[in-house]
Structure 1
Amino acid sequence: MDGNLRGRGGRVQDEEIMVDEEEVVDEEEEQDLWCVWCEDWSISLPKKIEALSGSCVTINCRFDINSEYDKDLTDSAAGVWLKDGTDIEGNGGLKWTYTQKSAFIDVIDFPPNPAVQMFEDQMEVEEEVLEGSSMCLRCSAKTLCSSSPPTLTWSSTDRLHLNESSRLQLDQQNQTEIISDLNFTATHLQHGVTFICTITYQLQQRKTTALNFIRLRVQYGPKISLFSCNRTNVTVCLCEAHGNPSPKVEWFLSGRPVSNSANTSISEERLSSTDLRSFISLHQSLTHTDTLQCVTTNTHGNASKQIQLVSSLQEMTHCQLTLIPLLVILTLILILYALTVGFGLYKIRQ
């Protein structure tokens, strides 16, 4: 038991005990603190204190004394914890016993889960965040035992490199809590990633853990991940895009928008809540100047890719022109080989 005694002179005394069994908790009281004689001789401490079995527990005790004894509350003054009260003894005539209801200890076998919060540009948020925002994921928990505080660690489902920092501080109830902040800039690569905070308590004979998690949802502009064409008698192209919200895809042939018609067929396939694949089939003759463009948009921007289209006849002509130099080279090699063999046979006959 860590007993923190604080008087007008700022006197603090710490004591510690281990917790091994559960105490009865008074459920009928509505106040968080007992307060006896809240003028002059007064003392306050929590009604209910949560403690982890096998660990120590901290009880914060605050007191005031009659102002005429302020001079006696020096560094030599001491507080003594009793089963049914607390003694404060200092110099001169300063000696007082506070008797009141005790602080009840609620012993738990397993630690509570840590609390996880998400901050976007220093504002707490619960919904989706925007790509490029400065993010902070905060994990916090009560230390329960100040002499052996727990540790907090972060992990993620995608095994990202995490930059975290931890610290101890007092909460609004004057209890020590441990906080771990995970800072990063939100990107589309983190959309759907689950970040897990694990708290570990070192007990007398073992360690015990608890965890909490948060799934990050990032809104971002569209990106084209795949754009390809297969050209035979019919030109078939596909464009695969992703974004949050899910983007839409539009096609442009030589700068003109394309829609379903007798010569054009467009279809779509929804791959996920953020991914879309679009197909286009062109049943028409093309020239060497025709271009096909895939344009994808959502509320956060747009992206596009373009490809130069060539007709099947042009591709065949291009292929033939490419083969001519190869045929010439092969012919020369064969002639040279024949001459070499012929010259060798002539030498043998001689």
Structure 2
Amino acid sequence: MSLMAALCVNMVTVNMLLSVFFLSGVSAQCGSITPAALFIDAPKEMEALSGSCLLIPCIFRAKDGTQFDSSREIYGVWIKNDPRFSNKDNVIFNSSQSVNSYKMQMTGNLREQNCTTLFSDLDKSKTNKYFFRIESEHFRATACDDPLQITVRDSPWSPRINISGEAKEKKSVTISCSAFTSCPHSPPQLTWNLQQNSHSQIEKNTDGTFTSKIQQSITLSDSHDGFNISCSATYPVDEGKPGKTKETQQTLSVTYAPKETSASISPSGLVSAGSWVNLTCSSRANPPISSFSWFLKTKDGSMKVAEGQFYTVNMTNMTESYYCEATNILGHNRSSWIHLKNEESFPLSTILAVTVSVVIVLIFLPLCVCRLKRKNPTQQQTQNQTGEEEEIHYGDIKFSDRRAAPSSVSEQDSGQQQETVYARIQVSKAESSSEQSAEGLQDLYAQVNKK
């Protein structure tokens, strides 16, 4: 038994020594001076868009008590997956080299302990854990305790809509739309339906990341209640491909006092005395109406007679006038007067007077029309009377060609038979043959025989 116990103790001792050995080896690989001799201030996790770039904000510092000479030549190194610098396959970027496996650029000034880096040409295969390392003449260390997890995604981020201030009628608020900007060198384009051609601004967050934002200040009214704000962010990508767009919508809720209050009657028109009439009050408000009240017009002024959106009235009087009032926590609003009348509100004498007047008009109107026709004869009759006074003469008209052969009847006989009058006229005649003259005109004579 003592032998077995001794063997067990020896095995435990060997395991402990092996554990210490291997742990010391990892630490030694992580930093050449001491483990965790370098620290960086950077986000623990970052997201990037495939086809775009990522700006990594980074500030490094050496372990307290460690000398770091910033006047010496300094190089920055990024390692993926495994912090061991000895594994050259994991070293993706070294600022001392002109060619690297990943497209990265050290934009920060290492002499000022700024290790900010621009990571370009990202795709989903570059989703990994990354470590930063410093290489100089007397200081070589990796920030083993500060890994950076980078996740590359295909879909863009949804923009965020924010409303600052009280969303109440007649109050001024500032509405903004913002989108995460992984790469300020290629920011997203923000557009919305509040204002055309809005110019976005890039703001730096407390953790060193960036946000693009557009905003507008407006004075609210009841018409803005229920308005749907739409904002979209379009992220540019490499290789001239179409940008990736994501949209966000938010409905604006504006509180206001009651408006457009109205009262309606059912049935409408004249009603019989003693019948029931239904009154309805309508209004709009945000928050909703909390109470409706009905008021009756009296000789002493308005008198509250009921509460509720609906009110039923028994028509006992000839005429009655009502209005309703709508109320919520922000105020109240009243309708115009509505007037109820029953059939007895029109006396019999009034009805008879109207009937007699209509009958008189129907009887005397045709008589007046007939008298007007007799006094004003028609135009045709006037023309007929005028025509009878004129003397009408009749005559025979004969047309002959001046160049025709003389008649066989002697001039003497002709003179005895009738008196001949000649008149010269010109008539335009169409050409019928080539023998006719170019002018195509002939002189004709008209012979008129007077009876």
TM-score, normalised with respect to structure 2: 0.51
Q: How far apart, CA to CA, are the structure 1 residues paired with 2:197 and 2:352?
A: 58
Show the 5 A alignment for 1:136-147. Answer: 136-147=174-185
Show the 5 A alignment for 1:1-350. Answer: 37=37, 43-64=40-61, 69=69, 72=71, 82-83=78-79, 84=91, 98-101=141-144, 103-121=148-166, 129-155=167-193, 166-204=200-238, 205-229=241-265, 230-233=268-271, 235-247=277-289, 248-254=291-297, 255-259=302-306, 268=309, 278=310, 280-287=312-319, 290-307=320-337, 309=339, 311=341, 312-314=343-345, 334-343=366-375
Q: Is the 8 A contact 1:200 1:208 kept in 2?
A: yes
SS of the aligned residue for 2:158 comes to coil
Q: Is the 8 A contact 1:220 1:245 kept in 2?
A: yes
Q: Is the 8 A contact 1:222 1:303 kept in 2?
A: yes
SS of the aligned residue for 1:337 comes to helix
- Write out per-residue CA displacement over residues 311-350 of structure 1, whole angstroms, 9 at most, x where no aligned residue: 3444688898889988887777544312122345799699
Q: Which amino acid aligns with 1:341?
A: K
Q: Which amino acid aligns with 2:237?
A: L
SS of the aligned residue for 2:324 comes to strand
Q: How far apart, CA to CA, are the structure 2 residues paired with 1:321 and 1:139?
A: 73
Which has the larger share of helix? 2
Would the alpha carbon gap of residues 309 and 103 (structure 1) be closer, same or farther in structure 2, given more than 3 Å must change? closer
Q: Is the 8 A contact 2:43 2:207 kept in 1?
A: no
Please, which runs of 5 or more residues in structure 1 have no aligned partner?
Answer: 1-34, 122-128, 260-265, 269-277
SS of the aligned residue for 1:63 comes to strand
Equivalent pairs, count = 278
- Write out per-residue CA displacement over residues 193-213 of structure 1, whole angstroms, 9 at most, x where no aligned residue: 332322211222122122333
Which has the larger share of strand? 1
Q: How far apart, CA to CA, are the structure 2 residues paired with 1:146 and 1:346?
A: 94
Structure label with greater radius of gyration: 2
SS of the aligned residue for 2:373 comes to helix
- Write out per-residue CA displacement over residues 79-113 of structure 1, whole angstroms, 9 at most, x where no aligned residue: 655544666777xxx86655335644211111222
SS of the aligned residue for 2:374 comes to helix
Q: Which amino acid aligns with 2:206?
A: Q
Would the alpha carbon gap of residues 242 and 58 (structure 1) be closer, same or farther in structure 2, given more than 3 Å must change? same
SS of the aligned residue for 1:309 comes to strand
Q: Which residue in 1 is equivalent to 2:442?
A: none
- Write out per-residue CA displacement over residues 162-218 of structure 1, whole angstroms, 9 at most, x where no aligned residue: 896631110111111112224322322232333232221122212212233333322
SS of the aligned residue for 1:112 comes to coil
Cα drift, residue 220 of structure 1: 1.6
Q: How far apart, CA to CA, are the structure 1 residues paired with 2:249 and 2:222?
A: 19
SS of the aligned residue for 2:57 comes to strand
Q: Work out which structure has the larger RCO, using CA pairs closer than 8 Å and 6 or more positions apart in sequence.
A: 1
Q: Is the 8 A contact 2:261 2:335 kept in 1?
A: no
SS of the aligned residue for 1:218 comes to coil
Would the alpha carbon gap of residues 294 and 82 (structure 1) be closer, same or farther in structure 2, given more than 3 Å must change? closer
Please identify, of 107-116 and 225-234, the stretch whose mean Cα deviation from structure 2 is larger: 225-234
Q: Which residue in 1 is equivalent to 2:32?
A: none
Q: Is the 8 A contact 1:286 1:309 kept in 2?
A: no
Q: Which amino acid aligns with 1:291?
A: S
Q: How far apart, CA to CA, are the structure 1 residues paired with 2:351 and 2:205?
A: 76
- Write out per-residue CA displacement over residues 246-285 of structure 1, whole angstroms, 9 at most, x where no aligned residue: 22221111122224xxxxxx974xxxxxxxxx45444222
Q: Which amino acid aligns with 1:62?
A: I
Please identify, of 168-177 and 45-54, the stretch whose mean Cα deviation from structure 2 is larger: 45-54
Q: Is the 8 A contact 2:292 2:308 kept in 1?
A: no
SS of the aligned residue for 2:335 comes to strand
Would the alpha carbon gap of residues 82 and 346 (structure 1) be closer, same or farther in structure 2, given more than 3 Å must change? closer
Q: How far apart, CA to CA, are the structure 2 residues paired with 1:82 and 1:177?
A: 25
- Write out per-residue CA displacement over residues 136-186 of structure 1, whole angstroms, 9 at most, x where no aligned residue: 23332221122210022224xxxx768966311101111111122243223
TM-score, normalised with respect to structure 1: 0.63
Q: How far apart, CA to CA, are the structure 1 residues paired with 2:222 and 2:351?
A: 42
What RMSD, in angstroms, separates the aligned Cα atoms of the two structures? 4.2
SS of the aligned residue for 2:247 comes to strand
Q: How far apart, CA to CA, are the structure 2 residues paired with 1:332 and 1:211?
A: 78
Q: Is the 8 A contact 2:36 2:143 kept in 1?
A: yes
Q: Which amino acid aligns with 2:47?
A: E
Q: Which amino acid aligns with 1:201?
A: Y
SS of the aligned residue for 2:223 comes to helix
SS of the aligned residue for 1:341 comes to helix
